[in-house]
Amino acid sequence: MKKIFAVIVALFVGFAGFHIAEPAHAATSKTKYVTASTLNVRTGAGTKYKVVTTIKKNQSVKVTQTKGSWDKVTVGGKIGWASNTYLTTKKPATPKNLAAGLKTVGSNKQLILVTSNGYNTSSAEIRTFEKNSKGQWNPVLTIKGHIGKYGFTPASKMSEGGKKSPTGKYTIGTAFGRYSNPGTKLPYRKITSDDVWVDDSKSKLYNTWQSRKKTKGQWKSAENMNISAYNYGFVINYNTKRTPYKGSAIFFHVGSSYTLGCTDTSQTNVVKILKWLDPKKKPVIIQTPIKELNKY
């Protein structure tokens, strides 16, 4: 009997000292949201594993399992592991509709809003809005873009060659491109090798689109229009009075970096916007540091 008791005690002590590894928690499926600007999804729970895909801030993912500081997620039909340090169950707030409080666009039904985080940056965010039958602005597109190399400047301080983009509210002029009309309802002009935009402040043709051959000798400086940046775009109606030295050739066009005073974004985005614009809806473009949006 003593032997049996001793064996039982030994077994009990042995099991008491035996550590059972904690299994991964198979959680019931729940939704989480990304808090980092970008977050890698990997083939395994650790940074040593290959990246399957990348998810962006506020994007939702389906979590089915947790292993320490890693969650097993499903997103866009792909399954992988993401650090749960950058995931939260708290749903992000709905982005503020920046057009809702504007006071100067009562008669307009289409709006392009170009904002920056200050005056001295060339990075910008471009948003488009369309007004519904109730007079409310509905967001259409939100994309990244660029403005002048040295950022924004008030129109009153604009200068020719200053490499800054003018703040203000402007109507939209002629659409243009080196190729056929992509489907815009705006008046469209196809660029040829003969086309120039006069930037000579002393010329009577200052800030106008001209034929190089027909206007020879009438200006000393003009911008060649037949370039890849102008594959597609439209004229921003800035300095329509053609005041000398106040800046010329202010366009919305194709690009991937700072400009010399225009606003740019990818060719895909430019074409999307051109197809969307409708002159019957009185489209306008507002350009401003976001902190001064209340001026409009």
Q: How far is Cα 292 from Cα 296, in angstroms, rounded to an integer?
A: 8
Q: Based on the structure, what is the number of domains in the chain?
A: 2
Q: Is the pLDDT of residue 144 over 50?
A: yes
Q: In this structure, are 138 and 271 located in the same domain? A: yes
For every residue of 25-68, DSSP letters joined together read B-PPPEEEEE-SSEEEEESSSSTTSPEEEEEETT-EEEEEEEET
Same domain as 236, residue 168: yes
- Mean pLDDT, to the nearest integer, of 126-134? 97
Give the tens place of pLDDT for each residue, 39-82.
999 999 999 999 999 998 889 999 999 999 999 999 988 999 99
Check whether residue 69 and residue 194 sit in a common domain. Answer: no
Residues 234 and 157 placed together within one structural domain of the fold: yes
Mean pLDDT of 168-188: 99
DSSP 155-224: GGG--TT---EEPEEEEEEEEEESSS--S-SS-EEE--TTEEEE--TTSTTTT-EEETTTTTTS-S-EEE
The mean pLDDT of the chain is 92
Task: Band the pLDDT of 288: cuts 50, 70, 90.
Answer: very high
Range of the domain at 161: 110-295
Are 73 and 154 in the same domain? Answer: no
Residues 282 and 136 in one domain: yes
DSSP β-bridge partners for residue 165: 152
pLDDT of res. 27: 54
Q: Give me the count of residues in the chain.
A: 296
**Inside any domain, residue 19:** no
**78 and 124 inside one domain:** no
Q: How confident is the model at residue 28 (pLDDT cuts 50, 70, 90)?
A: confident
Average pLDDT over residues 248-262: 98
pLDDT at 21: 45
- Per-residue pLDDT tens over the stretch 268-283: 999 999 999 999 999 9
- What CATH number did the domain enclosing 74 receive? 2.30.30.40
